[in-house]
Amino acid sequence: MKPTHNGRRFSAYLWLTLAIYIALIIAFAVYVRAEKAIDTANDLRLQSYLLADELRQSSDDLTRMARAYTATGNPIYKQHYQEILDIRNGKHPRPEDYENIYWDLVQLDDQRPRPSSNQTISLLDLMRQAHFTNAEFAKLALAKANSDALTHTEFAAFQRVENDVAQPVSGIHTDALAMLHSQAYYQDKAAIMQPISQFQQMVELRTNASVEAAKQLATQLRWIFIILGAALFFALWRIYRNMRRMLGGSLHEIYQQVENLAQGKFYPFISIPSGMNNSVLGWLAATQTKLNEIDTARNLAQAQMLRMTSLYAALSQCNQAIVRSKNQTELFAKVCEASVTYGGMKMAWIGWLDTATQQIIPVSQYGEGTDYIDHLHIVPNSQDTSAHGPTTIAIRNDQAYYCQDFITDPTTAPWHELGKQYGWGSSATLPIHQNNQVVGAFNMYSSRIHAFDAAAQRLLEEMVADIDFALANFERRTQQQHDQLMTDQRVFMLELITSDKSLDEILTTITHRVESLKPDVMCSILLLDAEKQTLHVASAPSLPDFFNAAIDGEPIGENAGSCGNTAYTKQRTIVEDIAHHPYWKNYRAIAQQAKLAACWSEPIIGSQQKVLGTFALYQHTATAPNRNDIQLIEMLAHFIAIAIERKRDEINIHNLAHFDPLTDLPNRLLLEDRARQSISVAQRAGSNLAVLFLDLDHFKNINDNLGHRIGDELLIQLAQRLKTLLRDEDTVSRLGGDEFIFVLPDTHPDAAAHVAEKLLAATARPYQIQGHELILTASVGIAIYPQNGDDFDTLIKHADVAMYRAKNSGRNSYRYYTEEMQAKSARILILENALRRALDQQQFVLNYQPQISTDTGKLVGAETLLRWHHPELGLISPAEFIPIAEDSGQIYQIGAWVLRTAIQQLKSWIEAGLPPMIIAVNLSAVQFRHTGLPDLVTSLLNEIDLPAQYLELELTESVAMDEPLEAIAIMDNLHNRGVRMSIDDFGTGYSSLNYLKKFKVYKLKIDQSFIRDINTDPEDKAIVTAIISMAHSLGFQTIAEGVETAEQLDFLRIQGCDEIQGYHYSKPLNTEQFSAFVRDWQPLKDK
C-alpha cells in the first residue's frame, strides 16, 4: 500500500470521526434530558407515597401513643401524642427526615433520634405543594379530616383516664383502653386508610403514564446513541489501524526501543500487536528477541548452577546435623549456620510458637542482620503489622510462603527498610512441624530477587521435611524416656503410699526422690489448715530453715506468693522469675536470701475437690517448666493427695468406729468394750461397778425453738464438762441425742450417788451459746454391779429404767434401780404392745356422759369418754394408757378414731330423730399440737356431713398454758373453721388471764376436785365462785363436772354455773343407754 493513498484514507476517516462525535454529543444531551424526565416522574410518585405514608404513620403513631397512655397512665405518651398532632398541623417544627421511622425510636426517657429541622408547616400544606390533581388532593384531605375526627375519641379516652380517682391495681385503665379497641374505633381507622389507598391508586395510574412516555423516548434515544457510538468506534478503529500498520507503535516507543538496543538493553521485551510483524516496531522486536534469548540463556544457566550447588551443600550439612545433633536446640543452630554458610543465604532464623503466650519466639539465628531478631516479638493473633508477615502467614496457613521481591512485596512492608539495609532481595518461610502440628517456622533471606524458583523450593521443602523428621525422633526419644520415668515414679509412689510409713515419712521420702531426679530443684510440701486457712510446712528438707520458718503458718490468698495463690485459687501457679513477679513482693527478700529464683506450685487436691496443700519446686535460676515437668508435678501432687487422704482416712475410720463425731466421746462400741473389761476386772476383784444413765430434761425444746446448731453446741460444751468430773479409768459415752452413759469401775452405791450429784450440778450451770444463756437439767439413773445385773446390757437397761423414774419424780434428780421399777417398766411395755393391736381388734369403745343446762334443764350435750376393754388385761384406765400412747406415737391414730366415731355417732343420733346437741371430745397434748389436727377435724366433719357448731374440743388448762402462743394459733385456726373449744380441768393449772382472754374458747370446765367438797370446804366454794364470776366477765360459759348431790347442784345454780355434768344426772353411758336416756329425759329444772 502506497503512503499517499494511506494519507488520504487517514484524512477521510478523521473528518468522518469528527462528524459522528458531534452527532453523538447531541444525542447524548437529548437522552440525558429524557432520563431526567423519568427521574422527575419517579420523584413525584415517591413524594406522593411519602406524604400519604406520613399521614398513615402519624395516625398509627397517635393510636399507639393513645393506647400506651390509657394502658400505663404515663404522661410522656400523652405529651408525644400532642406533639405528633402539632407537627402534622404545622404548630411544631418538623424533625429532620420525619418521613422515616421516628416515634418508634423515642423511648420513655424522651431522647430523640434526630434533631428538629426548624421547619414549621402543616402536612396539608405540604400536600398542596406536591402538585397533586384536585381529585388526588381531595382523597388526602378526606383522610386527614377523618384522622382529625378520630382524635376526638382518643382525647375522650384521655379524659376518662384522668377522671379515674383511684389508680387500678394493674396500672391499666380498662374503660379508656376499651374505647381504643372498640369496633367503632377500628371502623374510624379504616375510614382513614381507605382514602389513602384510593389516593395511592390514582397517583400510581397518573405517574405510570408519565414514566412510560419518558421511558419510550429514552429508549429511542438510547438506540440512536448506541448506533452513533458504534459508528464513532468504527471510525476511530479505522484510523488507529492505518496508523499501526505503518509504524507498529508510537513514534516515542519506536525511538525508545532503538535507544535500548543501542545500549545493549534487551529487557523488557518489545510487545508487538497481532499482524504488525511487518511494521517498523516488529522489525525492532525481532532483533531484540534474538539478542535477549542469547544473553538470558547464558545468565540463567550460570545462576541456576550456582544456586543449586549451594542449596545441595546446605541440604547435605542439614542431614549431617540431624544425624549428629542430640536435641533440637543444637540442630536448629547448625541448620541456620549451614543455610548461610553453604546455602548462600544472607541470614536464616527459626521461630518457635510458644503455646502459652501465643508468641513466635526466635530460638536460633545466623547471618547478617540477626541483631534485628533479638528484639523481634510476633503475636499471630494481634493487630500489630508483624502479625501479617511471611512468618505468621506460613504458620497460620501451614504452607510455605515465598517472597520473590522482598522490597516491593506489600506483605513485607514493615521490614522494607531493614531489607534495604541488609540487602534482602527475596525470602522464604517454611512451617516446621512436630506431632503433625505447626510449631515454628524456618526463615531464609537471599540477596537476589526471584532466588527461590521451583527447583530451589523443592530442595528447601525437602530440608524442612528432614527437620520435621528429626524433631519427631527427638520427641519420641524424649517421650520414651519421660514415660519410663513416669512409670517408675508411679510404681514408687504406689509402693510408698501402701507402706506402713507415717505421713511425715512418706512426704519426706517424696521430696528426696524428686530432688534426686532433678538435682537442680528443691521441693516443698505444705499442708493447708482448712479452719485457719494457713499453710504449714510438712516437708522441705533442702530449703533453708529460715525460709521454712518464714512461710510456715502464712495465710493463703490471691497473689499471696506462689503456694498461697495456688491454695486459694486451686490453680497451678508458675512464677518463672521471683525477683520481678508481683506475687512475691512480700517474700522477695527472704527468697533472695535463700537464692531462690523460680517457683512452680501445684495444688494438692483431694477426692472431694478440696485443697489439701501445695507441692512446689524451687530453682536457683529463673526458668519455666516444660510439658514433661508439668506432667511430673501433676502426677506427684495427685499421689501426695492420695497419701494424705489415705492416712487421714485411717485416723478418721478409727475415730468413727470408736468415737461420737459430735462430742468426741467414746461411742457405744468402745463403751461396751471398756465396760466388759471393767466388769471382768470387778468380777475378779469382787468389787462394785456403777453404770449411770443421764438424759437431759426438755432438750427437745432447745432444738425445736433455737435450732439443732445451738443444740449441738450445747452437747459439745456439756461433754467437755462431764469429762472433767471423771477419773482416768472412768468412761463417759454419748449414745445419741441427749443420752450419756457412764461406766465407773470400783464404785460403790454411795460414791455413785456422789458422782450423780456432781453431774447434775455441772449440767445445770448456765451455757452461753450465740448470745443465748441456756439453763437445763438432767435426770440420772444408777445401776450397780453385781446387785442390779452381772452383764453390761442388763446394767444399762436397769439404769435406763431408773432414769425414767427420776424424770417421773420431777426431773433434775437421780434414782437407784429397784425391782418395783422393773415391774412398772414391764407393765408399760405390755400395754404399749397391746395398744398397737387395740384399734384393729376393736377393743376401744366410747361412753357418753350427759351435760345439762342449769337454766332450762335441757340436755345440751355429751362428753365423749374413751374406754379400753382388753380381753386378757381387762378394763384399763385412760389415765394409764393415754400417756403410753402419747410416748409411743399411737395417740394420733387413737385420737383420729375417737373423733371420727364421736362425730359419726352424733350424726346417727340426729338422723334417728334425737335432738341436735354438742358432742365434746378431749384432746391430748400431743394430739393438740399435731400440725394436721385442723385439717383432720375439717375433713371428718365434711365427710360425715355434720355442722362444725355441734363439735366441741376440750383442752386441759395445763396444755393450753404450756405454749400459749402456739395454742392461740391452733385455737384461732379451729375457731375459723367453726369448731368450738373449751378448757378442761380449769383451776388445776396456772392460767394467765392475759392469754386466757386471747383464747378462742367459749366454755370453762370446773375441775371435779373443787366440786367434791363444795358443801363443806369454804375454800372450794370461794374458788368455784371466783371461776364462775371471772368466766362470765370474760364472756365464757361454765360447766361443772363431778356433780353428784342435789346440794352441789343448788350451790352451782345459785352461783350462775351454766351447765352440769356428773353422776347426779347420769354416769357415763354406752351408745344404746345414752340414746334411751335422751329419749326419756324431761327438762325439769329441779332434777
- For residue 25, is pLDDT > 70? yes
How many other CB atoms sit within 10 Å of the CB of residue 812? Answer: 16
pLDDT at 452 over 90: no
Whether 304-480 and 499-655 share one fold: the answer is: yes
Q: Which three cell numbers, joined as nine digits, stand for 352?
A: 518457635
Alpha-carbon span 1018 to 1022, nearest angstrom: 6
Assign 620 to helix, strand or coil: coil
**DSSP characters over 209-237:** HHHHHHHHHHHHHHHHHHHHHHHHHHHHH
pLDDT at 62: 85
Looking at domain 673-817, which of 3.40.710.10, 3.30.70.270, 2.60.40.10, 3.10.20.600 is its CATH number?
Answer: 3.30.70.270
Q: What is the pLDDT of residue 135?
A: 83
Element (H, E) at 982: strand 980-986
Cα separation, 418 vs 407, whole angstroms:
9
- Identity of the highest mean pLDDT range in 136-145, 329-338, 467-476, 782-791: 782-791
High-pLDDT (> 70) share of the chain, %: 91
Weakest mean pLDDT among 190-199, 257-266, 754-763, 792-801: 257-266
pLDDT of residue 11: 72
* C-alpha of 208 from chain center: 63
The pLDDT mean for the chain works out to 84
Mean pLDDT, rounded, for 570-596: 91
CATH superfamily of 304-480: GAF domain (3.30.450.40)
Task: Tell me which of 116-130, 232-246, 933-947 is least confident.
Answer: 232-246
CB 92 within 8 A of CB 117: no
Tell me if 112 sits within 8 A of 104, measured CB to CB.
no
- Under 8 Å CB-to-CB from 386, ≥6 apart: which residues? 376, 377, 378, 379, 392, 414
> Residue written as cell 536446640?
329
Residue scoring higher pLDDT (998 or 733): 733
Kindly state the average pLDDT of the residues 634-654.
84
Of 568, 679, 558, nearest in space to 613 by CA:
568
Query: How far is CA 487 from each of CA 8, 161, 269, 477, 644, rounded to the nearest angstrom?
Result: 101, 84, 71, 15, 21
* CA end-to-end span of the chain: 165
- What's the pLDDT at 448? 87
Closest listed residue to residue 614, CA positions, set 598, 627, 599, 593: 599
What integer pLDDT is reported at residue 108 of this predicted model?
Answer: 72
Asked whether the predicted pLDDT for residue 632 surpasses 60, the reply is yes
- Is it true that the peptide bond before 268 is cis, omega within 30 degrees of 0? yes
User: Taking the CB of residue 920, how many other CB atoms lie within 10 A of it?
Assistant: 25
Give the integer Cα–Cα distance in Å for 428 and 445: 7
Residue among 364, 427, 357, 355 nearest 394 (CA): 427
Per-residue pLDDT tens over the stretch 63-76: 888 888 888 888 88
Higher pLDDT pick, 580 / 481 = 580
821, containing H or E segment: helix 819-838
Give the per-residue pLDDT at 1058: 94
The string of pLDDT tens digits covering residues 139-172 is 888 888 888 888 888 888 888 888 875 555 455 6
675-710 pLDDT, tens per residue? Answer: 999 999 999 888 999 999 999 998 888 888 888 899
Which one, of 992, 997, 1045, 1048, lies nearest residue 1020 by Cα? Answer: 1048
Confidence of residue 970 (pLDDT cuts 50, 70, 90): confident
CATH 3.30.450.40 corresponds to the domain 499-655: yes
CA 441, CA 604: separation in Å to the nearest integer?
A: 38
Each residue's pLDDT tens digit, 245-255: 666 667 677 77
pLDDT at 767 over 80: yes
Domain spans, the chain: 3-221, 304-480, 499-655, 673-817, 832-1079
- Span 832-1079: which CATH code? 3.20.20.450
pLDDT band at residue 653, thresholds of 50, 70 and 90?
A: confident
Q: What is the pLDDT of residue 950?
A: 94
Q: Is 221 a residue whose pLDDT tops 50?
A: yes
Higher local confidence (pLDDT), 478 or 834: 834
Task: Note the pLDDT of residue 171.
Answer: 55
The set of cell numbers assigned to 452 is: 527461590
Per-residue pLDDT, averaged over 360-379, amounts to 82
Cell numbers 450445747 label which residue?
714
